[in-house]
Amino acid sequence: MRAVLRWTAVGAGLLLVLTAGLCLASYRKFSANITTDKAAEQVLAGYAAQRPPALVPQAWNILVMGADGADGAAGEEPGAEADAAVLLHLSADRTRATAVGVPRGLRVGVPGCHRPGGGTAPAAYEPFAAAFRAGGAACSIRAFEQLSGVRVDHHLVVDVPRFGRIADAVGGGSGDGPGDPRGDLLRALSGAARGGGSLAHPARLFGLLDSATSAITADPGLSSLPALYGLAGTLRRLPADRVTLVTLPTAPGAGDVLRRTAADRLFAALRADRPLRPAPDP
């Protein structure tokens, strides 16, 4: 669940803002660093009639995508392809959270999407990651909603290479090895957020937060430090047994094919804001 760790690292980094006691000028700078994705909001507004309804309005579904162009198609700009995505579900009463991993190679029906540079990418049955390459966050959201029937309320896009550099800066260990470098990053940031570690020096902390906030693109509802801090704080308050991490079930021996019956049970629980039950063996 690399993408789950990546998103949590974002939240942990933002929690540092309060710990650091930053001045108002710094606060404004970091808020301005966060990119607001108004384009996706406009595109989605044009497809309002086709989108699934929010059956439990107080619950939140947030699609988190990691932009990583390092292994994208030839000729693509850095960040042009999305890494594995996560659908983060927060219950209406904010007592539960579920993170559902969406493998980048999972084959789904990608709708026809407007290309950021103009023109339209035709509808196709292809890996989920292709949706982001075809039409950015809006296309990924539409593809996920079409697959699941789950309404996506908000979205975040994280610049993965930038967070890799942050891992180096905090000594999280982003080199090759048996561990997950993004897991190392999470541990480093979480330790600093609790008031200590190698980031106690204000100048170093300032540089980290400058890089971290610059690596985030969000919809208008989440593109501010108060909104992201509130979201991170909600997750931080949840006990471990109230947070469920799952990955969309795929057919044995065919990791790119969705196991539809099991997935439909999961999607139905998300739509109705019900806790997930253990899935029966396939």
Report pLDDT digits (tens) over 149-203. Answer: 999 999 988 887 776 666 555 554 454 444 443 343 344 434 444 444 444 455 6
Q: Which ranges of the chain would DSSP assign to H, the alpha helix?
A: 2-20, 24-33, 38-45, 129-148, 160-169, 181-193, 202-214, 225-237, 260-272
Q: What is the structure's pLDDT at 178? A: 42
Q: What is the structure's pLDDT at 93? A: 96
pLDDT band at 26 (very low <50, low <70, confident <90, very high): confident
User: In the predicted model, what is the mean pLDDT of residues 207-229?
Assistant: 84
Q: What is the structure's pLDDT at 104? A: 85
Beta bridge partners of 102: 85
pLDDT band at 41 (very low <50, low <70, confident <90, very high): very high
Q: For residue 67, is pLDDT > 90?
A: no
* Rounded distance between C-alpha atoms, residue 141 and residue 34, angstroms: 20
What secondary structure does DSSP assign to 17-58, as a single string? Answer: HHHHT--HHHHHHHHHHSEE-HHHHHHHHTTGGGSPP-SSTT
Q: Is the torsion defined by CA of 129, 130, 133, 137 positive or negative?
A: negative
Tokens of 83: 């890494």
pLDDT band at 211 (very low <50, low <70, confident <90, very high): confident
* Rounded distance between C-alpha atoms, residue 171 and residue 179, angstroms: 14
Number of neighbours of residue 84 by Cβ within 10 angstroms = 22
Residues contacting residue 111 through CB under 8 Å, at least 6 positions apart: 123, 139, 142, 143, 146
Tokens of 219: 């919809």
pLDDT band at 59 (very low <50, low <70, confident <90, very high): very high
Q: What is the structure's pLDDT at 106? A: 93
The reported pTM is: 0.79
Tokens of 266: 């999961």
- Pairwise pLDDT comparison (78 vs 279), residue with the higher score: 279
What residue has token string 């970091």?
A: 30
Q: For residue 278, is pLDDT > 50?
A: yes
Beta bridge partners of 155: 63
Please, what's the largest Cα pairwise distance for the chain?
A: 55
What residue has token string 């909603």?
A: 145
* Rounded distance between C-alpha atoms, residue 77 and residue 70, angstroms: 9
Q: Read off the DSSP letter of residue 123.
A: P
* pLDDT, tens digit, 9 for 90 and up, residues 97-116: 998 988 889 999 999 998 88
Q: Is the torsion defined by CA of 246, 111, 80, 43 positive or negative?
A: negative
Cα-to-chain-centroid distance, residue 87 = 7
- Give percent helix, percent strand, percent coil of the chain, each to the nearest 5: 45, 20, 35
Q: What is the structure's pLDDT at 127? A: 93
User: In the predicted model, what is the mean pLDDT of residues 53-73?
Assistant: 78
Among 89-103, 164-178, 266-280, which range has the highest average pLDDT?
A: 89-103
Percent of the chain topping pLDDT 90:
39
* Rounded distance between C-alpha atoms, residue 18 and residue 27, angstroms: 10
